[in-house]
Amino acid sequence: MQEMTQQIRESAKRLLEQGQVDCVLGYRKGTVPMQERPFFAYTPEDADQLVWTRFCVNNLANFLIGRQDRIAVVAQGCVSRNIVGLIQEKQLTREQVYVLGVHSPGMVDRGKVQEHFPNRVIHSVEEDGEELVVSGADFSERIKVRDVKRNNCYTCTHRNAVIHDELIGEQGKETGGGNMDKVAAPWEKLSPEERWERLEETFKDCIRCYACRDVCPLCYCNQCFVDENQPQWCGKTVEETDVLTFHLLRAFHCAGRCTDCGACESACPVGIKMRMLTSKLEKDIRELYDYSPGLDLESTPPLSVYRPEDPEPFASG
Amino acid sequence: MEYVGIEPGRLHFSWISSSEAGEFQNKATEVVEAVRALGPAKRLVKDIRPEEAEAG
Amino acid sequence: MQDKILDKSELDAFLERLGKEHDVHAPVQNGGSVEWAAVDSSRDLVWDFTNTGVSPKRYIFPQTECMMRFRNRSDDPEGMVMKEEPGLTRKRALLNIRPCDVKAFRVLDSVYCQDEKTNDVYWRDKREKTLYLGLACKSPCPTCFCTSVRCGPHHEEGLDVLLVDLGEQLLLRPVSDKGQELVSHLSDAPQEAVQQAAKQKEDAEAAIQSRVDLENIMARSVLELYEAPMWDREHESCLNCGVCTYVCPTCHCFDIQDETQGEHGRRVRNWDTCMSWLFTYHTSGHNPRGSKKDRYRQRFMHKFKYMPQKFDVIGCVGCGRCTSRCPVNIDVTEVVRGMNEQE
């Protein structure tokens, strides 16, 4: 990872010095353990702050929306897929963005690391190959990265960038090894009653901070439906109906577009696993339309286009 | 919708041409009867009435 | 007031006594984190924890709170009938609350109870019916900086009793009259226990590595800070989500809505966040805080300049929740240092 960081800095400096881009978007070392910060480098000096670690959990495609300048961006598989999505949806032009493609080794879920050290204060977490060295005031222990990756990284299907203008490091193994179709499976086996209970349980701690929405590169509406007040579609309370209306509608709006980057789950301050909703929608899209989002600049997302041969298993009679 | 536990049968889709008035009427009746049989919706319903009013 | 001592094995009796008049709530283990919940046994209590993920602010200022109900029936000779909501029906005790979280209530008193006319009944009702039994902080997080903002791991302001965990025993220091009454039946703490508690205080304060200086912020004018060049870049990675404001024990903005259902209606107050563009959006279509930069700046200016200037309180207790929960690692200490140091 250290080498990758060096290469990113070198490329960024070159691009900025030669004036090929106005800005390089990457990650900067965070001030707390396991949390890197999205960072815009405008000068070659800025570029020295860029890093690439297993704690780069934000989806940088989100920060490209609305940019008018020429911008280079560090993009692993999921981020590159969201860049493709944004270009398909005309939020970005291909010419405007310079993709520094990186291979993602799978990012760390800091909640899982904390769970290994219940109620102990973690002061630093350093990467060492396939292990993490977790230290506090009076302890220092090693844990295996493979035990604490984010759930979505286990079922990743595209770890390499799907488009790039320049490759940083080598391309690597393409998948996380898990089966994406199985994410939604536990709910599919349940009765409607039981599913509803699971839904209630999943979202009961939501504080409606909208971090899941604001961190998501799909959620770029000028005005989200929950912020509309004439008419007001959704109440402002933390009562179940209002909370679930928000999450269900948001999930539907993402159908056929979600790359399972996991930014929503990483951002949630109360640990809600909202992939239980999105994974089902994406599974349906794969099964009904044989489509996976963000892989091909020339294709059109299935829910944005009408084809006479579209399947209609939902239409009765 | 069924995936999250909203009762099956509360949501109906069908494809009817604008020239099929009879078909439209039949379908509308069918949907109304099916949903009526399920009773009042229990999911995603907000009830803000004070407790004493709920019974009435 | 005299420090008291309580063996942890006698905690259940203490809880039972407390529970006679109060609903007792405390931080309890909740999966990987520690969160607030009702407790009825000492077994539920946790002693080694940093702090709860979400602050206990909601006990006094719930995220969703019904303010009143109304009924509007055209055939009703009384016309529209409005009905007050009953306040808290039973007293409450917040046990093992961290001193910073109690200090936060004091900070918010200066907003909600300014004078006779600005005296929020909903806030005051719950404030007055709540007992605060604080647990001194043993293991501050790297994100804590309470000692920089007129607070500390053993800070007593706003407490009824301060508890210091001595292992098998607890030292109970009454701070208010209510607290004194609650612990008066216990035996006096021996000198060693008092010394042990004092040592713990010293150690905990020393363990807080993060420090910020506010002197220049206080000295500089509002406009100077407002127009500082630092804001131009700082906000770029901010998502304008509401995490920082909702986990914060001192953020206190709200939105009031009337909801109706047929003839019935209610007025509800919900937390709102200055990070949201809608928060300041006028009916006219104008938005005085229209850009992300405006909103980002607002939260820090409010806590570290406007509140000190207006109420002589710092609008932050240094709990570090916003830093540790921010999805993009915006660090409040870094921002405040920037405000204090900028040219």
Question: What is the per-residue pLDDT across C321-340, written as a single tens digit (0 to 9) for each?
Answer: 999 999 999 999 999 999 99
Mean pLDDT of chain C: 95
H/E stretch holding A38 reads strand A37-41
CB-based contacts of C15, cutoff 8 Å, min separation 6: C24, C39, C40, C41, C42
Whether the per-residue pLDDT at A136 is higher than 80: the answer is yes
Q: What is the pLDDT of residue A118?
A: 85
Find chain B residues with C-beta within 8 A of A283's C-beta. none
Q: Which residue of C has its CA nearest to A216?
A: C239
Give the mutation candidate from C261, C263, C270 for the B interface (greatest B CB count, under 10 A): C261
Q: Which residue of A has its CA nearest to C275?
A: A209
CB-based contacts of A250, cutoff 8 Å, min separation 6: A212, A213, A219
Q: Is the CB of A37 less than 8 angstroms away from the CB of C257?
A: no
Q: Which residue of C has its CA nearest to A212?
A: C241
- Tokens for C107? 């900070």
CB-based contacts of C276, cutoff 8 Å, min separation 6: A210, A227, C240, C242, C295
Q: Within an 8 Å CB–CB cutoff, is residue C229 touching chain A?
A: no
Whether the per-residue pLDDT at B9 is higher than 70: the answer is yes
CA distance A67 to A92: 8
Q: Is the CB of B49 less than 8 angstroms away from the CB of C259?
A: no
**What is the gyration radius of the CA atoms in chain A, in angstroms?**
20
- Percent of chain A whose predicted confidence (pLDDT) is above 90: 86
Q: Within an 8 Å CB–CB cutoff, is residue B45 touching chain A?
A: yes
Q: What is the pLDDT of residue C343?
A: 60
Q: Is the CB of A32 less than 8 angstroms away from the CB of C327?
A: no
The confidence band for C153, taking pLDDT boundaries of 50, 70 and 90, is very high
Residue C259: half-sphere exposure toward Cβ, Cα within 13 Å: 24
Pairs across A and C, CB distance < 8 A: 120
Q: Tell me which residues of chain A have a C-beta less than 8 Å from any C-beta of chain B.
A: 184, 187-188, 190, 192-199, 235, 239, 241-242, 244-245, 248, 277, 280, 312, 314-317
Q: What is the pLDDT of residue A317?
A: 42
- Chain A nearest C-alpha distance from C309 (Å): 29
Residue C52: half-sphere exposure toward Cβ, Cα within 13 Å: 28
CB-based contacts of A164, cutoff 8 Å, min separation 6: A75, A80, A99, A100, A101
Q: Is the CB of A207 less than 8 angstroms away from the CB of C142?
A: no
Ordered by start, the domain boundaries in chain C are 4-341
Q: What is the pLDDT of residue A241?
A: 96
- Residue-wise burial string across C242-265, b where 16 or more C-beta atoms lie within 10 A, e elsewhere: bbbbbbbbbbbbbeebebeeebbb
Angle at C103 between CA C97 and CA C105, to 5 degrees: 90
Q: Is the CB of C264 less than 8 angstroms away from the CB of B48?
A: yes
Ordered by start, the domain boundaries in chain B are 2-55
Q: Where are the alpha helices (DSSP H) in C74-154?
A: 99-112, 121-128
Which residue bears the tokens 């024990």? Answer: C249
> Three-class SS of residue A143?
strand
CA distance C160 to C102: 10
Average pLDDT over residues B33-53: 88
Average pLDDT over residues B8-34: 90
Q: Within an 8 Å CB–CB cutoff, is residue B54 touching chain A?
A: no
Q: Is the CB of B4 less than 8 angstroms away from the CB of A196?
A: yes
Q: Is the CB of B5 less than 8 angstroms away from the CB of A195?
A: yes
Whether the per-residue pLDDT at A103 is higher than 60: the answer is yes
8 Å CB contact between A66 and A86? no
The confidence band for A256, taking pLDDT boundaries of 50, 70 and 90, is very high
Q: Within an 8 Å CB–CB cutoff, is residue C72 touching chain A?
A: no
The pLDDT tens digits of the residues spanning C243-289 come to 999 999 999 999 999 999 999 999 999 999 999 999 999 999 999 99
Find chain A residues with C-beta within 8 A of C239's C-beta. 62, 211, 214-215, 267
- Tokens for C77? 């000779």
Nearest to B3 among A242, A280, A312 (CB): A280
- Residue-wise burial string across C204-215, b where 16 or more C-beta atoms lie within 10 A, e elsewhere: beebbebebebe
8 Å CB contact between C319 and C98? yes
Q: Within an 8 Å CB–CB cutoff, is residue B9 touching chain A?
A: no
Chain CA centroid to CA C2, Å: 28
Nearest to C323 among A32, A123, A267 (CB): A32
Whether the per-residue pLDDT at A159 is higher than 50: the answer is yes
Angle at C330 between CA A203 and CA C62, to 5 degrees: 40
The pLDDT tens digits of the residues spanning A186-240 come to 888 999 999 999 999 999 999 999 999 999 999 999 999 999 988 899 999 999 9
Q: How many CB atoms lie under 10 A from the CB of residue C287?
A: 15
- Residue-wise burial string across C94-120, b where 16 or more C-beta atoms lie within 10 A, e elsewhere: bbbbbbbbbbbbbbbbebbeeeeeeeb
Length of chain C in terms of residues written:
343
Chain CA centroid to CA C149, Å: 14
CA distance A162 to A80: 6
Nearest to B5 among A184, A199, A317 (CB): A199
> Three-class SS of residue C173?
strand
Q: Within an 8 Å CB–CB cutoff, is residue B22 touching chain A?
A: no
CA distance C267 to C254: 13
Which H, E and C letters describe A170-200, residue by residue?
CCCCCCCCCCHHHCCHHHHCCCHHHHHHHHH
Pick from A190, A194, A106, A186: nearest CA to A150: A106
H/E stretch holding C177 reads helix C177-183
Distance of CA A2 to CAs A59, A78, A104, A149, C306, Å?
21, 21, 14, 19, 43
Please report the residues numbered 95 through 124 in chain A whose beta carbons come closer than 8 angstroms to any beta carbon of chain C.
111, 114-115, 118-119, 121, 123
CA distance A227 to C280: 12
Pick from C200, C192, C60, C91: nearest CA to C135: C200
- Tokens for C168? 């098998």
Q: Is the CB of C264 less than 8 angstroms away from the CB of B53?
A: yes
Q: Please give the sequence-ordered ranges of beta strands (E in DSSP) within A44-130, or none if there are none.
A: 50-51, 71-75, 97-101, 124-128
CA distance C14 to C185: 10
* Higher pLDDT among residues C74 and C200, named by residue: C200
Q: Which residue of A has its CA nearest to B6?
A: A192
Q: What is the pLDDT of residue B56?
A: 41
The confidence band for A18, taking pLDDT boundaries of 50, 70 and 90, is very high
- Answer whether the bond into residue C153 is a cis peptide, omega within 30°: no
The confidence band for A161, taking pLDDT boundaries of 50, 70 and 90, is very high
- Helix A192-203 crosses helix A240-254 at what angle (to 10 degrees)? 100
Q: Is the CB of B50 less than 8 angstroms away from the CB of C264?
A: yes
Pick from A134, A142, A129, A133: nearest CA to A114: A134
Please report the residues numbered 148 through 207 in chain C whose beta carbons come closer than 8 angstroms to any beta carbon of chain B.
none
Q: Within an 8 Å CB–CB cutoff, is residue B53 touching chain A?
A: no
Pick from A261, A223, A225: nearest CA to A79: A261
Please report the residues numbered 195 through 214 in chain C whose beta carbons come closer than 8 angstroms to any beta carbon of chain A.
207
Q: Is the CB of A119 less than 8 angstroms away from the CB of C49?
A: yes
Whether the per-residue pLDDT at C320 is higher than 70: the answer is yes
The pLDDT tens digits of the residues spanning C88-145 come to 999 999 999 999 999 999 999 999 999 988 899 999 999 999 999 999 999 888 899 9
8 Å CB contact between A48 and A73? no
Pick from A75, A122, A128: nearest CA to A98: A75
- Subunits in contact with chain A (3 or more CB pairs closer than 8 Å): B, C
Please report the residues numbered 25 through 54 in chain B whose beta carbons come closer than 8 angstroms to any beta carbon of chain C.
46-50, 53
